Amino acid sequence: MKKTLPYIIFCLISGYLFCQKNEREELKKYDSYLVRNLEMGKWKTKSFLKNGLVTVEEVYYRRELRSKWKYFYDGNEKWTIRTFDINQGIINDTIENELLYFQDSLLVKKHSLGAIEIYSDFNEFGKPRIVERTQEFGFLPYKEVFEYDAIGNKTKEMAYSEYLNTKDSLVQEIEINRYRYDSNNNVIEIKREYIPEKTFPIPIIGAPSLFQIEKFRFKYNKDGLWVKKYKTINGIEKLTSKRTLK
């Protein structure tokens, strides 16, 4: 079974926190946005913005607030604090504290959630071609290798992982993803491959299954920010996300 916890957390909590750089500039015109994830049922996320960055995020199921998060950016640190949980009420837990280390203005090391990431082999855009990771829990790949296009979009990634199968045998796996983009630099196609091979679709607990080829289409507003996202699987297109900006 694929290790799904980080994937689910990313989908529900941090879904659109890490947007494209060009989108961030346009988001400076807005105070907040609401994303309805139609693939995940009645879940929606409201994000409050400051200078184009998300500072507060509220996660709802239907109209009920399930969790609330605050993000702080301070020099070489980024803090993620959970301030409300449906099961615990008002709280003040530091969920993540990222310590960032720079060299020649390039991020070369990050320490967060029991993991240390080392970045190397930078391209002309200052993006790393190699990420190596040591971690306490082993949820994430221990190494990732990236390729980029002429304007800095990631076109290929190879993620190296190892885990114990149901027979307690060590499995070494390579996950390969290839990406295509539209003129707004949003991903419009993902092609997946695994070594050793896996059968698609791959079920993900609490999230949509992964298909070998997924295609996407976006509808944009006058500022070039997406407001609707469509996904095509096996020739069938469905609306998967709506975003309302204010």
Per-residue pLDDT, 83: 82
5-14, 36-45, 113-122: range with lowest mean pLDDT: 5-14
Can you give the pTM of this predicted structure?
A: 0.84
- SS3 state of residue 127: coil
Percent of the chain with pLDDT over 70: 88
Report how many domains make up the chain: 1
Domain that holds residue 22: 5-245
Burial of 34 (0-12, 13-18, 19+ CB in 10 A): middle
Per-residue pLDDT, 94: 66
Each residue of 201-217: pLDDT tens digit?
999 988 899 999 999 99
Distance CA 49, CA 57 (A): 9
- Give 199's DSSP letter: P
32-36, 86-90, 218-222, 234-238: range with lowest mean pLDDT: 86-90
- Give 133's DSSP letter: E
Q: Is the pLDDT of residue 10 over 60?
A: no
Query: Where on the phi/psi map is residue 31: left (φ > 0), alpha (ψ -120 to 50), or beta?
Result: alpha
Each residue of 146-175: pLDDT tens digit?
999 999 999 999 999 998 888 889 999 999
Looking at residue 135, which CATH number applies to its domain?
Answer: 2.40.128.720
- CB burial string 163-191: b at 16+ within 10 A, e below: eeeeeeeeeeeebebebebeeebbbbebe
Q: Looking at residues 60-80, what average pLDDT do you find?
A: 86
Q: Is the pLDDT of residue 68 over 50?
A: yes
Residue with tokens 């290839």: 178
